[in-house]
Amino acid sequence: MRELLLSVVLLSVGAGLLSAKVTPLGAKPEWAELDGFQETITKGKFVELLDRVYAPNGGWKEWIADRRRHGAHLASARGQALRVALCDFRSQAGAAFLEGKAELPPPTKGKPLAGLRIAIDPGHIGGKWAKMEERWFQIGKGKPVTEGDMTLRVAKLLEDRLKKLGAEVRLTRTGGSPLTKMRPEMLLAEARRSLAESNRKATAFTLQKESEKLFYRTAEIRSRAWLVNSVIKPDLVVCLHFNAEGWGDPARPSLIDKSHLHFLVTGAWSRDELEYEDQRFEMLQKLLSRSLEEEAPVSEALARSLAAATKLPPFIYHGNNAVRVGEGDYVWGRNLLANRLFNCPVVYAEPYVMNSRQDYARIQAGDYKGTRIFAGVPRKSIYREYADAMAEGIVAYYAGR
């Protein structure tokens, strides 16, 4: 269906008090930064992406309106309003704008990832911060299970594999220390504001918890995003996590029988999240930069290789905070600070359940070469299985270029 040659989308309709709201430690966005996306997307594709991936609950309709104007090339941002002209076909400008594996040099023999720059983000901080960030539990005299240290171990194994395959690789952290210079005690005023905004009472306990969360989550992730966007400037960010189910008391955690696997791309902004001006900007930046065109197929390739290596079933979301992306059940869209802030394609891995009986036993076994028997089956160490399968998935996608 042919669409009008130039439609105009007006963003941030209803500028006022609500639109001035930004998330904790966030800044008012520079809307002019989106000007480079003029005429790079059709109206049909724009609305389809909003409805299917980015704001499937319809929250975008309160903020984004489209107006038809003939021959308008509107590239200016006035106040909080931005106008993006939409074209009716993928114009030359739009085609040239789209990046991805097509732009990489052809793979060389033995180096299928030559020319590819990858940033690996080992989720969380670990080390002495693991208890504060609630990524720590211990059973009796067993090894403490700390997600931030486990993701770092996988990151280093994966870095080694990807470099051998020809990729240029940078980690967002190489030890158990935060990248941010902020610390909880420096964030008390911001914590008080954050509590007030969500109608929670400020007590000594809630202020401490909130300032800690602003440190290990918000400030830390913002620092990593700055490093990735301003320094590393990769073709792809790979966020590594281990999943878990609620374990209750970290000193007496409960073990469960199920384990699962899924991958996340950025999507599923809620109505409440879209009330924040910086979140609206970040959603549009993600959408207009078309990072989904890279991150969805990479995630699918990774899901195939991880599912084959781990034999894990998909994790299925039932709430409104996630949306199914793609054909199968392994790839979902979710809006996380840890994926939306990176200005490039991002894949976000959530394999294993740390407090499942099967995975807990493998975590206790630590890292080792070769295989050991678990439940009658020879298995690589959980870290090597994860890193090997990630490397295979990345090669499966990029070596096909």
Nearest residue to Zn ion, scored by beta-carbon proximity: 241
Quick check: 241 binds Zn ion (CB under 5 A)? yes
- The minimum distance between CB 16 and Zn ion, in angstroms, equals 37
Quick check: 262 binds Zn ion (CB under 5 A)? no
CA-nearest of 354, 393, 10, 372 to 150 is 354
* CB of 118 or CB of 154, closer to Zn ion: 154
* CB of 122 or CB of 393, closer to Zn ion: 122
Q: Which is it for strands 81-86 and 7-11: parallel, antiparallel or unpaired? A: antiparallel
Extract the tokens encoding 192: 């008080």
**Choices 10-18, 212-220, 237-245, 375-383 (CB under 5 A): range interacting with Zn ion:** 237-245
- The minimum distance between CB 165 and Zn ion, in angstroms, equals 26
- The minimum distance between CB 123 and Zn ion, in angstroms, equals 4
Q: Are the C-beta atoms of 25 and 214 separated by less than 8 Å?
A: yes
Quick check: 123 binds Zn ion (CB under 5 A)? yes
**Choices 51-59, 117-125, 232-240, 337-345 (CB under 5 A): range interacting with Zn ion:** 117-125
Q: How many beta carbons lie within 10 A of that of residue 359, not counting itself? A: 23
Q: How many beta carbons lie within 10 A of that of residue 130, not counting itself? A: 23
Contacts (CB under 5 A) with Zn ion, residues 36-95: none
* CB of 123 or CB of 253, closer to Zn ion: 123
**Choices 3-11, 120-128, 262-270, 302-310 (CB under 5 A): range interacting with Zn ion:** 120-128
- The minimum distance between CB 85 and Zn ion, in angstroms, equals 39
* CB of 123 or CB of 267, closer to Zn ion: 123
Quick check: 115 binds Zn ion (CB under 5 A)? no
* CB of 101 or CB of 241, closer to Zn ion: 241
State the number of binding residues for Zn ion (CB under 5 A): 2
* CB of 56 or CB of 126, closer to Zn ion: 126
* CB of 264 or CB of 288, closer to Zn ion: 264
* CB of 122 or CB of 345, closer to Zn ion: 122
Quick check: 173 binds Zn ion (CB under 5 A)? no
Residues lying near Zn ion in the complex (CB under 5 A) are found at 123, 241
